[in-house]
Every structure is written in C-alpha cells, then in structure tokens.
Amino acid sequence: MLALLKRDLVLATRAGGGFGLAVAFFLILCALVPFGVGPQTEALRPIAPGILWVGALLSCLLSLDRIFALDHEDGSLDLLATAPLPLEGVVAIKALAHWLTTSLPLIVAAPVFGLLLHLPGNAVPWLVVSLFIGTPALSVLGAFGAAITVGLRRGGLLLSLLVLPLYIPTLIFGTEIVRRGAQDADPVTPILFLGGISAAVVALVPFAAAAALRVNLR
C-alpha cells in the first residue's frame, strides 16, 4: 500500500506527471472570472467563496480523469488487481495520492487566489478549513467517476457529467461555511454536515469504485 502511495507521488512530481497543472488551471479560472464578471470589488466579493469552491472543484475534477486510465493503458492496473492488495485499497490510496498532489496545493493556493477575488479577510481561514474538510470527498468521488469511465475513449466530458452532480452537497456545505465565516456567523452546522459527508464518502465510495474497476478489467 505504502509502496503504491510512494510510486504515485513520485510519478506525479516527475516530468510529465502534471504536478501543479491543477493549481495553474485554478489560477486561470480565478483570473477568467473577473474578466467575465467585471473587476469591481462589490461585484467580486459576494461571489468569491462560490467561485473559489467551483474552481477548486473543477481543477480537482479535470486532474482526475487519467487517475486510472494511465494505469489501465500500460497494464499496471491488471497487475495491481492480481497483486496482494485489495482493489478497494488501491482506489483509496490512489485517491489519497491525488488529494496530496492536487487538493493540498489547491488548499495552500486558495487564500492567495482569494485575494484576486477580494475575498474578505475573515473568511480566509474558513475557506481553508472548508476545503480541507471537503476536498477528500471530491477526490474519492472523482476516483469513483474515473473508475467508471476508465476504458472509454471520450472519458473527460462524461466523467464531469457523472461526477459533478455528486459534488453538489459538498459544494453547498463548503460555500455555506465560507459565507457564514465571512458574515461572522456560526459555521458549525455546515462544518458538521460537510465532515459527515466527507467521512461517509471516504469510507464507502471506494467499494463502489472498486466494483466499477473490476467490471472494467474483465
């Protein structure tokens, strides 16, 4: 298990692994929105939490599409499935590796990009907290979608279509935390909900993803 985690981390950081692409994409998205919406602080401030969350979600999603596809193409997935690792564990580890290489940099970068969108200062810690709690669910759900679409030739857009609706509860509670934080309201309820969703997703969805992988391997 640890070997797999290590390999995925090394692969992501070597040349061609795409480390940092997600953050760059996040940056571009955050930069595009003011072009679309207008640069006024009053226009940007109220939508900043939402845009940051949607941006994080899309960057997370788009970096997921090849999480299993590459291993499928070069045959590693067949070999992993016959190795003494439960496939559920493989899914969980790959989601964890994705979280470490993609979501963690996003979380670190988010406060900076928050500046671009004039996110109020008192909301920044809540942004980080909400992303920290919510992104594991995004990674695991994305891994589920990637497992379903692993053998398909037009995976990218379909993956988004399958996964984005699953992201809705996470998104709602995530932005609610930030919004309440910005208004100095009490964000405990959405935090509890978000934590519950994340925990349940991380605990259960790997089984569904492993089942989908098994179907695609045969």
Partner 1 sequence: MTLLSVTDLAVARGGMRVVEGVSFSLHPGAALILRGPNGIGKTSLLRTLAGLQPAVSGSIEHDEDAIAYAAHADGLKPALTAAENLRFWADVFGGFPIEAALEAMELTALADRPAGALSAGQKRRLGLARLLVTGRPVWMLDEPTVSLDAQSVERFARVIGQHLEAGGAAILATHIDLGLTGADVLDLTPFRARPGQGARPAGFNEAFA
Partner 2 sequence: MSIWEYANPVKFMRSSGAILPWVVAGAAVCTIGGVLWGFLTPQDYKQGATVKIVFLHVPAAMMAINIWVMMLVTSLIWLIRRHHVSALAAKAAAPIGAVMTLIALMTGAIWGQPMWGSWWEWDPRLTSFLILFLFYIGYIALWAAVEDPDSAADLTGVLCLVGSVFALLSRYAVLFWNQGLHQGASLSVAPGERMSAVYRYPLYLSMLGFLLLFLALVLIRTRTEIRKRRLVALQAREARA
Tokens of residue 48, six digits = 């900043």
Q: How far is CA 183 from CA 34, 121, 176, 196, in A?
A: 22, 11, 11, 23
Query: 74: burial class by Cβ within 10 Å (0-12, 13-18, 19+)?
Result: exposed
Contact yes or no for 30/55 (Cβ under 8 A): yes
Q: Which residues bind partner 1 (CB under 8 A)?
A: 2-4, 6-7, 10-11, 14-17, 71, 73-76, 78-85, 217-218
* 24-63 footprint of its own copies as x/- string (CB under 8 A): xx--xx--xx-xxxx----x--xx-xxx-xx--xx---xx
**Could you say which of its own copies, partner 1, partner 2, none residue 166 binds, taking C-beta under 5 to 8 angstroms by partner kind?**
partner 2
Residue 212, both tokens: 């989908």
Q: How buried is residue 158: exposed, middle or buried, by Cβ count under 10 Å (0-12/13-18/19+)?
A: middle
Helix, strand, coil: what percent of the chain each, to 5?
A: 85, 0, 15
Give Cβ neighbours of residue 177 (< 8 Å, ≥ 6 apart).
126, 129, 130, 187, 190, 191, 194
Q: Give the residue, chosen from 39, 42, 82, 84, that forms a contact with partner 2 under the rule CB under 8 A.
A: 39
Among 10, 31, 79, 188, binds partner 2 (CB under 8 A): 31
The interface partner of residue 39, options being partner 2, partner 1, its own copies, none and the CB cut-off 5 to 8 Å by kind, is partner 2
Binds 3: which of its own copies, partner 2, partner 1, none (CB < 5-8 Å by kind):
partner 1
Rounded to an integer, what distance in angstroms lies between the CA atom of residue 177 and that of residue 130? 6
User: SS3 for 16?
Assistant: coil
What are the residues binding its own copies (CB under 8 A)?
Answer: 16-18, 21-22, 24-25, 28-29, 32-33, 35-38, 43, 46-47, 49-51, 53-54, 57-58, 62-63, 65-66, 70, 73, 153-154, 156-158, 160-161, 164-165, 167-168, 171-172, 175, 179
Interface with partner 2 (CB under 8 A):
15-16, 18, 20-21, 24, 27-28, 31, 34-35, 39, 41, 115-116, 118, 144, 148-149, 151-152, 154, 158, 161-162, 164-166, 168-169, 172-173, 176, 190, 193, 197, 205, 208, 211-212, 215-216, 218
